[in-house]
Amino acid sequence: MKVIENYFYTKSHEWIQLLEDGTALIGLSDYAQNELGDLVFVNLPEVGDDLIVGEMFADVESVKAVSDVFAPINGKVLEINEELLDAPQKINEDPYGAWFVKVEGDVKPETLLDATAYQEYLTELEA
């Protein structure tokens, strides 16, 4: 499974990319999309909603089931990726490009996994 350098990750398989202007993008990892299978529906929060670390802020549905997506940081939603609402399959096709929300918030890298740590975590999971 693909893991991107310079992104941070959670054990629940969200990724977070820090942008130069201090905001961040959040999405689901390649491992997650592969485990979930074909995604057919996405529910996103609204602009202005608060994210609370560890709490669900979105959900995705595959043909078979619904899964929650958890906030990796505390923050506020600045923008949502509306394209995903009509084309949830983009998460399967390009998991690291298909961001869910753009947030401003309190990023604590020490509470997240870097690419190397996430890769190790995946290796453990698949062992």
- Using CB under 8 A, list all residues that contact other proteins: 37-38, 40-41, 43, 61-64, 66, 85
Considering the complex, state which of residue 40 and residue 52 has its C-beta at the smaller distance from other proteins: 40
Half-sphere CA count of 82, side-chain side, radius 13 A: 4
- Minimum distance of other proteins from residue 38's CB (angstroms): 4
- Minimum CB separation of residue 34 from other proteins in Å reads 10
Whichever of 17 and 62 has its CB closer to other proteins, that residue is 62
For other proteins, the closer CB: 19 or 40: 40
β-partners of residue 105 are: 75
CA 78 – CA 102 distance, rounded (Å):
5
- Contact call for residues 35 and 69 (beta carbons, < 8 A): no
